[in-house]
Amino acid sequence: MTRLLLVRHGESNVTVERRIGGLRTCSGLSDLGRRQAAALAERMARGHEPPVEVLVSSTFPRARETAEFVSGALGLPVVSDVDLGEHDPGSECDGLTFEAYIERFGHGDWEHDPYAHGFPGGETLAAFQHRAADALTRVARNHAGATAMVVCHGGVIDRAVRLFLQAPATGGFEVHTVNTSITEFLLVRPGRWRMLRYNDAAHLAGLPAETPRT
């Protein structure tokens, strides 16, 4: 059976710094993020999870770094997929603090108009959703019958939930995916996915919830 284990990357430096962290300015994991990724790797090494046959990662440093921790535990190489990256804010917004972004551009209307350029010069929400859905579908198709772990981003996992459960692309509900948590989907028959778990972060017990924000 085709199985996807979706993992959100560990806590990132840009999150701690309260910055918009696209591919251009992402500087990888915070100290806590590395501890989270190490805890996930230890969990996978214990062998109680479904055996993973392929490890795929977004090319963002925060995702790639997380995947490299897990790679050692699984004994698998990391396969990079640029299309699994987070919503691209474009060069003008990438690296801005949240405060500076709101000062310049206000609060984007992400839900009501997914075709609006909330990030001037960046991806629309609709374009991001299409890219992420295409990438997730491709991973599942290319690894049919296998278990693939996909290290990616909160936005990509939100898209996976909506795609695989055939839910509306925006609105309807809200998910908040925890860093290094596991979300598991199983393809039970063509076109029908079953969500087996969401936000499983048992390995983070004893770690701080987050690094104090700057």
Catalytic positions are: 9, 86
Tokens of 68: 């490299």
Nearest to 23 by CA among 66, 74, 58: 58
Per DSSP, the residues of 15-62 read HHTTB---TTT---B-HHHHHHHHHHHHHHHTT-SPPP-EEEE-SSHH
- CA 121 remoteness from chain centre: 22
Binning the chain into helix, strand and coil, the percentages to the nearest 5 are 35, 20, 45
Distance, in Å, from the CA atom of 105 to the CA atom of 119, rounded to the nearest integer, reads 8
What is the pairing mode between strands 147-152 and 54-57? parallel
